[in-house]
Homo-oligomer: A and B are copies of this chain.
């Protein structure tokens, strides 16, 4: 457990910035304009001037909430396996490096608002203030162990608050279903039945709506393949979360090592032009 964390957000600044990112028909001209705009933004502070005041306490440990991406990393059905190909070798070149090819939504990764909602922020346009948040962990391992279709319900949020107090302002709310332990067995992680239906836990759309509409959160995350549970047909949690301009994280690792309340999540999100999301290095302090 750590000392108090206070985050004050200047809402006007963030709201205006959220509207900056949009993906339209990517003509060559539009692409050139987008590149130019992105690079101009690189040269100036992305945050600052009091847009965020972080008062951090004392932390004793750093945690890695990120799975290693490998050629056998489980991916959402329809996505290709990531490829890691030799590019430079010690023998031939005197040094070592690889070429990488993967779909953005691979491994521990971000879903940016633009992943589902045209015109909303792409990953590269998210203000970096949103990459620091008090982490609230909803533990549904008990139910998920016997029911792979378990979902985080509004009552789970209320039970967390009964035990730990109101969700802190700007919180990131993560589901711990224990699913990360299945990562080495892709079939068990994806858990697709004979009819093609996936079975893994996620956020019920009603819980996501509660968080987006009645609490002050910065995003939600899961330790499974999708913010919505595997059997979802309407992707209600994706739509509710992403249409509000908030981002999600999927495939989180090691949440069980952290306290339910009091940790700080730090999201090293992707910065590929017009990214719909992508592999992220997700860290936590506690």
- Whether a CB of chain B sits under 8 angstroms from the CB of A57 is yes
List A138-196 residues whose CB lies under 8 Å from chain B. Answer: 180-181, 183-184
Question: Within the complex, what minimum Cβ distance (angstroms) separates A94 from chain B?
Answer: 8
- Whether a CB of chain B sits under 8 angstroms from the CB of A30 is no
- Whether a CB of chain B sits under 8 angstroms from the CB of A233 is no
| Stretch of A96-104, A198-206, A208-216 on the interface side | A96-104
- Whether a CB of chain B sits under 8 angstroms from the CB of A248 is no
Task: Kindly state the separation between the CA atoms of A64 and B105 in the bound complex, as whole angstroms.
Answer: 23
Nearest CB in chain B to that of A282: its residue: B268
Q: Given the known A-B contacts A96-B23, A281-B268, are A90 and B68 also in contact in the complex, defined by CB atoms under 8 Å?
A: no
**A271 in contact with B281 (CB, 8 Å):** yes
Most chain B C-beta atoms within 10 Å of own C-beta, residue among A44, A45, A87: A45
**Number of A residues with CB within 8 Å of any CB on chain B:** 94
List A68-89 residues whose CB lies under 8 Å from chain B. Answer: 68-72, 80, 82, 84, 86-88
**B103 in contact with A101 (CB, 8 Å):** no
Task: Kindly state the separation between the CA atoms of A285 and B97 in the bound complex, as whole angstroms.
Answer: 31
- Whether a CB of chain B sits under 8 angstroms from the CB of A231 is no
A44 cross-chain contacts in B, Cβ below 8 A: 254, 257
A71 cross-chain contacts in B, Cβ below 8 A: 31, 35, 273
A54 cross-chain contacts in B, Cβ below 8 A: 58-60, 62, 285
A62 cross-chain contacts in B, Cβ below 8 A: 46-48, 51-52, 54, 128-129, 131-132
Nearest CB in chain B to that of A118: its residue: B90
A/B interface sample: 24 pairs, CB < 8 A: A38-B68, A40-B184, A42-B66, A42-B183, A42-B253, A43-B180, A43-B254, A47-B61, A48-B60, A48-B61, A49-B61, A51-B62, A54-B58, A68-B272, A70-B273, A82-B272, A84-B274, A131-B283, A266-B268, A267-B268, A268-B281, A269-B281, A280-B281, A281-B281
